[in-house]
């Protein structure tokens, strides 16, 4: 059995400890449904059960996982869960205040790593109603927390997560597969993480998201013999999620012998959606504005950047198949502006155009995903094999210059000698650069670029491009091997 990805493990634990989505007309049936659900994810469940009239008292619950083909393992302990049948046919569930978890993973690169966490909740109100195979949960939880620790001497990570004022509705339907959907709101998420990278470097990250909404849908196949992630996807598992945040802000601080560097960001109306099924995996994030500040020890003042629009979309195959699958990457950064205070430092007379900058990238193609075992191998094959790359659009403009590009390549997997370990590319890409010579000249006048480097750049452009207008050149790059 291949070890489940961390995000699926944490998702399973979260569904059990904070927003259960399985219930039936009695507490005993609720508990059995939980065990069936976890079993279909590959977990083993042990516990002591005591039924007394309308109350099922389950204690010493251990949810564990041990991979058959590695030393990977995970264990979660719930001291007590109480299922109490109500006269109206609903079930009230009482959860423990804390839930400890430990997970160990191994890899060729990093060796063995241990991850420990303690989940906590306060005054959770969970009520399930409905009928067998079609149930609804209403939940309200003032706080859900998690304290985690992967520290190992001078390396590792510790952190704390707090989700505040969570409320919503969860529904479950049973058939040939588990069908789960839920939606809700939370007032805030607070995240604090500390990362150690050797004795002389420490990184900390703090994030706060306010005004949250979320929606989640899951179709989970039943009764698989060996339910690893790829097997679940191949059998029909489908996950999708949508998340919004009214305000998102955070900072990352890095301290080393040279000093302290701080990067902070604030955005509004963040929207994130994801999906994973046999057709592929997708991730999309977008927000209408951004305010970024960089403070570096060798720079005299903060660097402030604002942006009017940001969106990133990624799609890729979810399974390793003989036929290559589609992938796509789109990046759209619009109207990014550097603060006037920074411009005044190196261009006080305004010789460089200060028009808003933009970056637009649109790339599609075909690729094969490696089998999970292949990812453990060192070398160029890690992560998959690209078969075709279509550069549909590159559009970058800043400081009065504009770069555009488009092209396409295929990759000959029978030739890995020309570029050792990599398939040989076949195809071409064409670029156009407008305003580049004028920008280089301005940088020389301001003392920001040595004259010799400008001359080298002009020689290079003259060798690999042709003029098509006033300070406007075109260059076509294709295989020359």
**pLDDT-wise least confident of 11-20, 163-172, 351-360:** 11-20
For the cut 50, the answer to whether the pLDDT of residue 3 exceeds it is no
pLDDT at site 146: 93
- Give the position of tokens 């990238």: 361
CA 173 to chain centre: 28
Percent of the chain with pLDDT over 70: 86
Q: φ, ψ for residue 463 (rounded to 5)?
A: -75, -35
Q: Given 3-state DSSP classes, what are the helix, strand and coil percentages for the chain, each rounded to the nearest 5?
A: 15, 60, 25
Sign of CA dihedral 151, 115, 371, 376: positive
Angle value at C-alpha 205, between 199 and 209, nearest 5 degrees: 170
pTM of the model as a whole: 0.81
Residue 475 tokens, joined: 């260059």
What is the rounded CA–CA span in Å between residue 410 and residue 389?
A: 6
Q: Residue 314 pLDDT more than 80? A: yes
Neighbours of 70 (CB within 10 A): 16
The string of pLDDT tens digits covering residues 62-76 is 998 877 666 778 888
Bridge partners of 120, per DSSP, are 98, 145
Residues in the chain: 481
Task: Name the residue with higher pLDDT: 234 or 81.
Answer: 81
The helix (H) or strand (E) run that includes residue 17 is: helix 6-17
For 255, which DSSP code?
E
* Residues facing residue 285 across a β-bridge: 272, 312
Closest CA to 303 of 261, 332, 333, 268: 261
Reference 59, options 83, 79, 29, 32; nearest CA is 79
3-state DSSP call for residue 132? coil
Helix (H, G, I), strand (E, B) or coil at 299: coil
Q: What is the pLDDT of residues 28-49, one digit of tens each?
A: 888 887 888 788 777 899 999 9
Question: Are the CB atoms for 287 and 338 separated by under 8 Å?
Answer: no
The residue among 419, 365, 359, 426 whose CA lies nearest residue 391 is 365
DSSP reduced 3-state for 236: coil
Contact between 316 and 281 under an 8 Å Cβ cutoff? The reply is yes
Query: What pLDDT, in 10s, does the model give residues 218-277?
Result: 998 887 766 677 778 888 889 999 999 999 999 999 988 888 999 999 999 999 999 999
């Amino acid at each position: 059995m291949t070890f489940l990805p961390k995000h699926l493990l944490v998702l399973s634990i979260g569904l059990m400890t904070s927003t259960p989505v399985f219930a039936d007309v009695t507490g005993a049936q609720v508990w059995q449904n939980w065990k069936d659900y976890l079993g279909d994810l590959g977990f083993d469940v042990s516990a002591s059960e005591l039924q007394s009239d309308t109350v099922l008292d389950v204690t010493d619950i251990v949810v564990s996982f041990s991979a058959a083909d590695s030393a990977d393992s995970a264990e979660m302990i719930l001291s007590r869960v109480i299922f109490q049948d109500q006269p109206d046919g609903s079930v009230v569930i009482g959860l423990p205040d804390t839930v400890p978890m430990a997970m160990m993973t191994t890899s060729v690169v990093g060796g063995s790593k241990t991850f420990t966490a303690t989940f906590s909740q306060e005054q959770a109100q969970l009520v399930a109603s409905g009928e067998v195979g079609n149930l609804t949960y209403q939940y309200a939880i003032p706080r859900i927390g998690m304290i985690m620790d992967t520290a190992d001497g001078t390396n590792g990570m510790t952190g704390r997560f707090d989700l505040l004022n969570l409320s919503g509705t969860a529904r479950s339907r049973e058939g040939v597969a588990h069908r789960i959907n839920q939606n809700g709101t939370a007032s805030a998420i607070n995240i604090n993480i500390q990362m150690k990278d050797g004795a002389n470097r420490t990184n900390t990250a703090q994030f706060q998201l306010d005004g949250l909404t979320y929606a989640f849908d899951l179709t989970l196949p039943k009764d698989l013999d060996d339910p690893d992630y790829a097997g679940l996807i191949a059998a029909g598992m489908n996950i999708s999620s949508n998340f919004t945040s009214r305000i998102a802000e955070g900072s990352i601080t890095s301290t080393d012998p040279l000093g302290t560097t701080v990067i902070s960001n604030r955005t509004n109306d963040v929207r994130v959606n994801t999906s994973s099924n046999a057709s592929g995996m997708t991730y999309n994030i977008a927000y209408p504005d951004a305010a970024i500040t960089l403070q570096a020890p060798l720079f005299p003042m903060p660097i402030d950047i604002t942006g009017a629009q940001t969106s990133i979309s990624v799609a890729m195959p979810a399974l390793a198949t003989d036929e290559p699958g589609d992938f796509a990457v789109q990046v759209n950064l619009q109207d990014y502006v550097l603060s006037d205070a920074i411009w005044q430092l190196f261009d006080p007379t305004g010789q460089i155009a200060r028009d808003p900058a933009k970056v637009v990238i649109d790339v599609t193609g075909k690729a094969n995903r490696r089998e999970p075992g292949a990812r453990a191998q060192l070398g160029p094959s890690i992560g998959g094999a690209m078969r075709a790359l279509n550069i549909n659009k590159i559009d970058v403009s800043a400081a009065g210059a504009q770069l555009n590009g488009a092209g396409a390549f295929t990759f000959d997997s029978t030739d890995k000698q020309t570029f050792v370990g990599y398939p040989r590319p076949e195809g071409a890409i064409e670029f156009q650069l407008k305003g580049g010579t004028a920008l280089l000249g301005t940088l020389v006048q301001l003392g920001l670029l040595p004259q010799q480097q400008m001359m080298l750049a002009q020689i290079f452009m003259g060798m690999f491009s042709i003029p098509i207008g006033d300070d406007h050149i075109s260059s076509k790059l294709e295989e020359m091997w």
